[in-house]
Structures are given as C-alpha cells and as structure tokens.
Amino acid sequence: MFLPFLVKHEGAAVDGGVGEHVEWILQKQFKTVEEWLGPEGNKFRWRSHPVSAEFIEIWRAFAAEHASLTIADINAELVRIDTYQKANPHPPRATVAGLFDRLRSA
C-alpha cells in the first residue's frame, strides 16, 4: 500500500524509481511501513532524517482508508495511474532523492 500512497499523496511516477525504493525498504527486513517510518528506520533513511509526525498520520489515514483493497486491486490501480502518467507526462513532484527532504521533520 505504500507505493500507491507515494504515487497518490506525493505525486511520484509509478515507474519513476519509487517502486525500487519500496523494494529497498523490503530488503532491509522492515516488517511494516510503520517500522520503517519510526526510530528503527531512522538508522537507514537518507541522512538519517526522522519522518514528520504529520506524514506518519497522513500515511496511517491512507492505509486505513484503503485497508480493504486486495493486491489485485492495488496492482490494477497502479496500472491505471501508470497508463495515465505515460499518456500525460509531467515532472513528478516526488523523486526518490527529493522525497526524503519532504518527509523529514521541520
């Protein structure tokens, strides 16, 4: 669910490197997004910036709202968004490099 969150909330491109970033998170053996967003994740995130409490709350609300979606539902939505993004190219608001600066606490 974190990939659709980054695509919808942060304006990331479906095929713009965010999927690879989510894969990196999974390879670090985090069991949940919450774990990665919390203190344990601070050890691994770029420049060790903590994530803002506001971002975590937005993520929690998004995850709760979409909790009933199946993997097939999520994949279909990502395909739909990817198709739209490719037909309507524009610079995504979020890139993997810039994402962390917006996530950190002010």
Q: Do residues 104 and 49 touch, judged by C-beta distance below 8 A?
A: yes
Torsion, Cα 74 96 92 12, to 10 degrees, reads 10
What's the confidence (pLDDT) of residue 52? 81
Q: Residue 45 belongs to what domain range?
A: 2-103
SS3 percent helix, strand, coil of the chain, rounded to 5, is 65, 0, 35
The pLDDT tens digits along the chain (106 residues) read: 888 998 888 888 888 778 887 887 788 778 888 888 887 777 766 555 667 888 889 999 999 999 999 999 999 999 998 888 888 876 555 444 455 455 544 4
Is the model's pTM score more than 0.85?
Answer: no
Burial class (CB in 10 A: 0-12, 13-18, 19+), 59: buried
Q: What whole-number distance in Å separates Cα of residue 90 and Cα of residue 59?
A: 24
What's the confidence (pLDDT) of residue 106? 40
In the chain, the number of structural domains is: 1
What's the confidence (pLDDT) of residue 33? 84
